[in-house]
Structures are given as C-alpha cells and as structure tokens.
Structure 1
Amino acid sequence: MNDQRAGVAGQERGRRPGGRAVPARPDASGGGPPDMRAGRSRGRPMAASLVALALAVSGCAGAQGAASPAAPGQTAVRPAAERPATPPAKAKESAPRTPAGQAPALPAPDVAIPTDPSRLARSLTGTVAELRRAVDGWIRDGDPAKGDPPEPVVLLALHQQRIYRYLARNPQVASRTYARLPKALAGQAKDNVTAARNLLSLVRPISKPAQFRVQPPEPADVLLGHFRHAARRFGVEWEVLAAVMFVETKFGRVRSPSHTGAKGPMQFMPGTWDAYGMGGDIQDTRDALLAAANYLHASGAPRDYRRALYAYNHSQAYVDAVLLHARQIKRDIRNYYAYYNWQVFVVTTRGDRRLTGP
C-alpha cells in the first residue's frame, strides 16, 4: 500500500518478516496476513505499494520512474514543468490586516508560511478556528454528499496542511510553536506534524519530471458512507479505513499505479487483490474499501490494529502515521472533512510541488 504519493520513491526503514532489510520506497512489498482461504500460505505480499505515500501521504512524496500516461478523464501532471517549487522566503509571510468587524481574509494557496514560532502559532490557531467554522457551515448549509467543498474550506485546509508540512521539516521551530498553542491545539498539531514527519521519512525527492495521474475525489459524504459500510461488514473502525485511504491516495486523488503494479484508490498489489478483493473492481472505491477492511480484519484488526496495518505496509512509521490521523478523526469528525481537503504534493530536489487544489 502506499503512503500518500502516487508513483513515488521513498525509503522505508523497516524490515520484512524474514529479517531482510527493505529498501525505503513507497511500493515495497512484503509479507501479508494469513490468508483465510484453504491452500494459501502465510507471507503474502502486502496489499499495496506506497505509491501515494510518496505523493499523497501528508501530501508529501516523490515518484520513481515515469508513471503511466493519464487515462481518459484523468489529469496528467508534470510536476517539474507545470508547478513552481514552493517559493523560498520572499513572498509575504502573512495576509493583509483585516478591518474590524469583517471576516478574516482567506489565505492565498501559496502564501509564505511564517517562520517565527509566535507568528506561526497565531497563524495556525486562527486557521484551525476558521476552518472549523467553515466546515460547520459546509455541513449545515451545503451538501458534502454532492458537489465541491466551498472555497473557504479548501483554502483554509490547504493552509493548515502547509503549516504542518513546514513544522514537520523544522523540529526546533515546531517545539517552540507547540509551547505557544492552546493545549488542545498543541496535541492536534503534534499528531499531524509527527504523522507528516513519519511519512516524509519514507520517501526521497525525485529529480526528473514524471507524470502522475490525479483526479477529484468522490464527495466527502459519499466516501463516508463507503467507510461506514465497510466498517460494519468487517468490524474495522471507519476512521482507520479513512486514515489509510488518506495516506495512500489522498482519498482517491492519486490514480497512478506504482512501478511495482499497486493499483486503485487503496493501492492493492494484484496478488493481494485476488485473495481479498472478493471479485470486485480494484479501481472502484467501494470495492477497494471493502477489500481493505477484509484484509485488515484478516490481519488482526480490530484486535490489533498495529499488526494489521503493518501487514498492509511494512513500516512502523506508516503504522504510526495512520493511527495518528485516525485518532484525530475520532476526536472530531471535522478533522475528517479537513483532511479530505488536503492536497497532493510531490517532493522534488527543487522543492515541494502541489499537484492538486487551487
């Protein structure tokens, strides 16, 4: 399975069950859980191959080799040519001041992130508060089961994501920022930054242009219905399934297969799909989520999520990241809607490149 970046090359630092070191890359394969069908042995390849991990995981990843050309209806993205790397530090670090009595201005998609811990803490505090209000409004007045999210949700979620990515790469600044945050937000920030840092540790930057297939995800509440259906059928928490899909393909945005052949919104290896796909379509979101729940259940969930997730992807960093994101979704469902609006980034030798979003 993949961590969040389609077709990305990363470096996993875990080991396969047999003790052999596994090269760190998003689409590594390894042993899986015991197969429940007679005649199959233990040690099947893990369900997926971290394609999105490099692309989608907290939105940070790179890819190795050229990905397949875009399929009809999908967007071929050349990150090196079409998206400039994140600008260094010349852009403004904050939005213009807002007149009293008016709603805060929305952050521009690529506005520079403050580097001073105090300003960063204020920016994150304000962003999260406004994002929660925007999500509440979306749920109350909009329809998350249809159409696109409103602009405030999209822009605020992207800004939140970019702050956490910055903190993940700057541990000292992160520590000083946590100390300036309200207690509840500090805990949330630590979970998100730790998860992002774990996923970033699994990939290495790419240097050559590559194509990644991306597309809009299914509506947030349609996905929520799929998660809950799969959870009821196999007894796996829907928040864990959501966190896996978030890390693997950013809720289906990433559609490139890995260079080892992992496919679909949950990044299954074909052999694992044959065993757990129950005759479904590997590219279909509902079928893929049922298969993932089936696989995790066969691997030990809900009794032992760590064991089950490690079977899905042989990396403790991956396991920790998924569980941290799942914990945040359990604490406040608005975090699910925020994650739904996090975008796909690719890590290159020239900086991060965003492949989706505004």
Structure 2
Amino acid sequence: MRPVFRVIATVVALGLSSCGAASQSLKPIPSSRAASPAATPTEPVSSPTATPASPANIVDAASLAIELAGVEQAIRIPDTATEEYVVLGQRQQQAYHLLAAHRDWVGAVLGSIPAPLRAVVQDNLSAAQQIDDLNGARTTLPHWRIIDPPTSDVLLSYYRESQQSSGVQWQYLAAINLIETNMGRIQGLSSAGAQGPMQFMPATWASYGRGDVNNPRDAVLAAGRYLHAHGAPQNMTGAIYAYNPSWLYVRAVQLYAKQMFDDPHAFLGYYNWQVYVQTTKGEVLLPEGFTG
C-alpha cells in the first residue's frame, strides 16, 4: 500500500491541478477490515474514547486547509489505491470535526482551499452542522452495537439494485444510509424506536419492508420503495422529508448526495467514516465492537 501522506503531499505540491478529472466509475472497495495488512489477530478495541487528537501538523487554519484540500483531492484521484480510502476517509472525517470545533477558522480555511474544492468543503461542513443541530448532545452513550458493515462494493450493489427497481438514485440512498447508521455500522434502536441500517419504524416496515429489517439489502430496497411512494425520484425533497420530517435532515441528505453526484469517489471516503456521538461532555468515538 502506498503511504497516504505521500499521496496528499504530491497533490498539494501539484497545486491540486487535477481537480475534476476523476473518473465517474467506481472501483470495488474493500471493507476497512479487508484493507488491513495480514497480522496476528487481536481483540478489537471496544471501549468508547474521546475524539482522537488532531495530527500534530494541524495547528491553525492554514494547516487544516492543507489537510482538507489534500485529503479531498486524494479521494477524487482515479488511481488512488482502494485500500488507501480507509485512512483517507478517517482523516477526512477528523478534519471536518476539527473544523467544526474551531468555527473561528472556517473563513480562513475556506479562503485557503483551492476554488475547485471550496464548495466540497463548505457542503461537507454544512451537512455535518445540520446533523449536529438535529441530534443535539446526549447525556449518556447510546445503547448501540458497532459492527463491521458490508463491504462498500456490496453496499453499492444494493443501492444500484434499489435504484433500478424504485428510480431513486443510489447517491440519495447512500447519503441516507450514512446519516442513519454510518453505512450500517450502528446496530440498535433510535430514540424513537426505528431499527435496521436504514432506520424504519415498525409500522413503516410493515408497509414497505420485505424480509428482515436488519438485513442491509432488504432495508435499502425498502427505503427505495418508501421514497418512491412519497414522490421520488421526481420530488426528492418531499420524499426525503417524508422519510424524516426535518429540514435539517433533508438538507444534510441533499448535501452528501450532491458530493457523490459530482464525483462518485466521494462515496469511498464516506464509507470509511467511523461512529462518533456528541455528548454533553464532548465528542466520543464508538469503535467497532462497542456495545452500549
């Protein structure tokens, strides 16, 4: 595997001249587990931890802008090795968390980001803010189990199958899956009682679901049926609002989907995002294996 920091350093040195040149087809992407080098098996870390410290080289708005620009462009380079997306996605996520924590840096960061990537950074930051405002801060950790999701190429096949049957473009399904359960990493009930990787209420599943609400394929296909029944694909705004009646939610789905419409490789970064929760004591990482 090529070291990711070398990819990013090369991108920054080139002045991000290849923005927009990424291919619009996706390579199969291994899961984060499959991407790791072979090693003696170890017990997974399953205890929640405070948000990992930012890289030592990120000390101000200028250095964060370099990190964000490099990561976002590396994600969009067609020949980026598939296994590198594991690290790229996690660095991308941490960079946005850091930017959200330093609101006073936002103007300077956006001003330093190369123009072709400025809207990408703005949209990802805005989407995260919508979800944070929607969810608020928890006083206790959720009663969830964090699991390894299906591989990203398998998930993509489910989204595309649902698109074929419902007309709902796969980018919207991926965005909903990301927001609801981090692509299926979260297993457990929502505060309202919704369940499964696409978070269906029991009555809604009874109307639109077939099979097992916790089965990723069954859930994605049901999401397509539900969205189609509520106006998709012609009226995606209304369909998404029916899925979750919050304009914060609608906007976040649209912003994440837009990134994947603009460049499907954005999906590869999002797929590797980990599970964080906002608590009244700060942000907490729930690693794979966590059980609350």
Fold-level match, TM-score > 0.5? yes
2:109 corresponds to which residue?
177
1:196 corresponds to which residue?
128
1:250 corresponds to which residue?
182
Which residues in structure 2 correspond to 1:328-347 (within 5 Å)? Answer: 328-347=259-278
Cα deviation for residue 92 of structure 1 reads 5.7
Are the counterparts in 2 of residues 249 and 255 from structure 1 also a CA contact under 8 Å? yes
1:352 corresponds to which residue?
283
Tell me which amino acid in the other structure corresponds to 2:183.
Answer: F
Query: Given the alignment, which residue of 218, 222, 230 partners 1:291?
Result: 222
Question: Aligned partners of 1:354 and 1:119: how far apart in 2?
Answer: 24
Secondary structure in 1 matching 2:186? coil
Query: Given the alignment, which residue of 181, 192, 201 partners 1:260?
Result: 192
Question: Aligned partners of 2:67 and 2:167: how far apart in 1?
Answer: 39
Q: What are the Cα deviations for residues 294-347 of structure 1, in whole angstroms up to 9, with x where unaligned?
A: 110111111111110000001101000000000100111110111101111011
Are the counterparts in 2 of residues 76 and 213 from structure 1 also a CA contact under 8 Å? no
Which residues in structure 2 correspond to 1:271-290 (within 5 Å)? Answer: 271-277=203-209, 279-290=210-221
Cα deviation for residue 166 of structure 1 reads 2.3
Question: Aligned partners of 2:123 and 2:99: how far apart in 1?
Answer: 12
Q: Mind listing any 5+ residue stretches in structure 2 that lack a counterpart? A: 1-43
Secondary structure in 2 matching 1:314? coil
Question: Aligned partners of 1:344 and 1:282: how far apart in 2?
Answer: 21
Cα deviation for residue 167 of structure 1 reads 2.0
Query: Given the alignment, which residue of 156, 165, 172 partners 1:240?
Result: 172
TM-score if structure 2 supplies the norm length? 0.78
Tell me which amino acid in the other structure corresponds to 1:170.
Answer: H
Cα deviation for residue 128 of structure 1 reads 2.5
The range that moved more, 220-229 or 166-175, is 166-175
Query: Given the alignment, which residue of 47, 60, 69 partners 1:116?
Result: 60
Tell me which amino acid in the other structure corresponds to 1:343.
Answer: Q
Cα deviation for residue 260 of structure 1 reads 2.9
Question: Aligned partners of 1:306 and 1:259: how far apart in 2?
Answer: 24
2:91 corresponds to which residue?
159
Question: Aligned partners of 1:323 and 1:209: how far apart in 2?
Answer: 28
The percent of aligned pairs where both chains have the same amino acid is: 38
Q: Determine whether 1:93 maps to 2:25.
A: no
Distance 1:191 1:161, change over 3 A: same
Q: Determine whether 1:227 maps to 2:173.
A: no
Question: Aligned partners of 1:131 and 1:275: how far apart in 2?
Answer: 39
Which residues in structure 2 correspond to 1:141-152 (within 5 Å)? Answer: 150=83, 152=84
Q: Determine whether 1:305 maps to 2:220.
A: no
Q: Mind listing any 5+ residue stretches in structure 1 that lack a counterpart? A: 1-74, 95-113, 139-149
Question: Aligned partners of 2:232 and 2:134: how far apart in 1?
Answer: 24
Greater C-alpha Rg: 1
Secondary structure in 2 matching 1:345? strand
Cα deviation for residue 115 of structure 1 reads 4.7
Question: Aligned partners of 1:296 and 1:208: how far apart in 2?
Answer: 32
